Amino acid sequence: MPQAPHVLISEVGPRDGLQSVKATMPTADKLRWIDALYAAGVREIEVASFVPARLLPQMADAAEVVRHAVTLPGLTVMALVPNRKGAQAALEAGAHKLTMPVSASAAHSLANVRKTREEMVEEVRAISDLRRDIAPHVKLEAGISTAFGCTLQGLVPEDEVIWLAAQCVEAGADESGLSDTVGYANPAQVRRLFKRLRAELGDKAGAAHMHNTRGLGLANCLAAYEEGVRTFDASLGGLGGCPYAPGASGNVVTEDLVFMFEASGIATGIDLQRLMEARAPLVAGLPGEPVYGMTHEAGLPKGFVQGGSHV
Amino acid sequence: MPQAPHVLISEVGPRDGLQSVKATMPTADKLRWIDALYAAGVREIEVASFVPARLLPQMADAAEVVRHAVTLPGLTVMALVPNRKGAQAALEAGAHKLTMPVSASAAHSLANVRKTREEMVEEVRAISDLRRDIAPHVKLEAGISTAFGCTLQGLVPEDEVIWLAAQCVEAGADESGLSDTVGYANPAQVRRLFKRLRAELGDKAGAAHMHNTRGLGLANCLAAYEEGVRTFDASLGGLGGCPYAPGASGNVVTEDLVFMFEASGIATGIDLQRLMEARAPLVAGLPGEPVYGMTHEAGLPKGFVQGGSHV
């Protein structure tokens, strides 16, 4: 009997990954990739970003991708929305869940979106009100970016991270998660911040979005798991920046993360073999683009059986 | 005031790393590399393997390397010895600590050294008796290899791992550590096995020797740390097998491991900047040989200060 999943792996490759590469994946390949992820058992996918096509031509087909993804039963279809206008478009396309990035670094917020953090909280409120009016079943997540440090200002005070996460929930977000946007996090810090987040927000404490820029991605996911986090963002094939190169965005590799959990006896609901097969449409749709993943390179251990029976 | 180190990083590159590459590093470069590691604060180095030079020409200068390393005050100079003959040579050269690999996998032991595990325990006893006779201050460690699984037999029963570790201590080893020789370990298993090892052996439970073959190296070190392990093997620049390629030995990268601990506020006694500078003699001595390390590639976080003051 398959176990009920104990953790939720939220695949962000079709949004975070594709957004970070220069090439544009043809829509048909995106749909095949999403289908393959779904076939492997992935049940939450961030499929697109609703930003102006002139800024991100890779996301010009966002509405079409969402309209396809919502036909897959049981899949939670997420879309990134930077503002109210993007949220309107995502809701019209039928997304189940919106995620809005809000930077905990005052310097990063101003540099990146030319808004203060307080102004971003008001944007969260506007989006929350909008979805309440036109699609009240749709969930809204605030993703607190640079929560573990920032390349512009360095340290981001933990009090400010927790304050901002709480402000976003107060403004109407269903949950606030924490993102290690630049790969500065360490396991002790991850434990402290998620412990505080859960103390502050209870079950409105959201996902861990960890990067592997300095090799600590899986260790940080493990630390977050031990503090009770049960949703983890990851990118198939580490798409969206070589995790082993300078300046890389370095999302945690989905295959390695699923291997860590499944080998540890923590069910993900994802079939590792089929997950690795989902690399084929990704590679086909982005010829020449490097993909990563050490579990894929090394192969599964001899005698490995998913679901903890090996261990 | 510098903190007293809270964990001991045992650098294995000059033995494990060099043993795994085809090229032979000139002796002068080995000594410069060891000096640079020492200058960075590394206080335990596995400097050589005492095996026949016809089998491993990279180690033909083992005695000379040991004789140099023991001149560095406060450095524990380790040598790998596969048998009594190697132990004799290592003791004569002046090594402070011997490490003897003993495979927990019955199949691997027979295939690798054509001895049963029981015969290897008797070899440990012979080496222990020898050092008691000629150099009683020298420490002896048994490194239980394939402790987390084996490419030949797959699963290695945990009872057998703990039994073998205890047998080695009974035969005279001062400590038994556990090695994930083929990169099969997961954090849950690491916790279980080190918990049992410490319950069985107390302070004779030894080091964690983790590989990064499937990307879980640092997560496994974190799990071991949380079970009380305080000595960790690692290889500068990940020397001795690309951690991102098939068939790699994939030692944990020293720089990334030190970054994880130092960022978490756990003192290693090692200066990260100087540790990264110790890559220069390694690269100079092995032209063309790839080295790895994500912290080195990405650089240290902005505002990062060692010793936990950043976090």
Residue range A131-186, pLDDT digits in tens: 999 999 999 999 999 999 999 999 999 999 999 999 999 999 999 999 999 999 99
Q: Is the ipTM of this complex over 0.85?
A: yes
Tell me, yes or no, whether A307 lies in a domain: no
Q: Which residues of A touch B256 (CB under 8 A)?
A: 214-216
Q: What is the widest separation between alpha-carbon atoms in chain B?
A: 54
DSSP H helix total and E strand total for chain B = 13, 8
Place of tokens 């993909």: A291
Q: Return the bridge partners of B45, or none.
A: B11, B77
* Residue in chain A nearest B291 by alpha carbon: A244
Tell me, yes or no, whether A303 lies in a domain: no
Number of structural domains in chain B: 1
Tell me, yes or no, whether B309 lies in a domain: no
Q: What is the widest separation between alpha-carbon atoms in chain A?
A: 54
Taking CB atoms and an 8 Å cut-off, how many pairs form between chains A and B?
142
DSSP sequence for B14-43: IIIIHHHSSS---HHHHHHHHHHHHHTT--
Instruction: Single out the residue of A180, A224, A176 nearest to residue A202, CA to CA.
Output: A176
Say yes or no for a CB contact (<8 Å) between B223 and A223.
no
Residue B126 phi, psi (nearest 5): -65, -40
CATH number of the domain that residue B162 is part of: 3.20.20.70
- Which tokens go with A114? 């030319």
Say yes or no for a CB contact (<8 Å) between B294 and A212.
yes
Nearest-CA distance from B65 to chain A in Å? 32
> How would residue A310 be classed by pLDDT, with cut points 50, 70 and 90?
very low
Boundaries of domain holding A105: 8-298
Please, which residues have CB within 8 angstroms of residue A238's CB and are 6 or more apart in sequence?
A212, A250, A251, A252, A253, A291, A292, A293
Angle between helices A158-170 and A117-134 (to 10 degrees): 30
Dist. CA B210–CA B225, nearest whole Å: 12
Say yes or no for a CB contact (<8 Å) between B264 and A292.
no
- In the chain, the amino acid numbered A187 is P
Say yes or no for a CB contact (<8 Å) between B183 and A298.
yes
Angle between helices A217-226 and A254-263 (to 10 degrees): 50
Q: Give tens-digit pLDDT for A253-270.
A: 999 999 999 999 999 999
Does the active-site annotation cover B242?
yes
Q: Give tens-digit pLDDT for B164-214.
A: 999 999 999 999 999 999 999 999 999 999 999 999 999 999 999 999 999
Instruction: Single out the residue of A112, A171, A120, A179 nearest to residue A144, CA to CA.
Output: A179
* Residue in chain B nearest A182 by alpha carbon: B301
Tell me, yes or no, whether A289 lies in a domain: yes
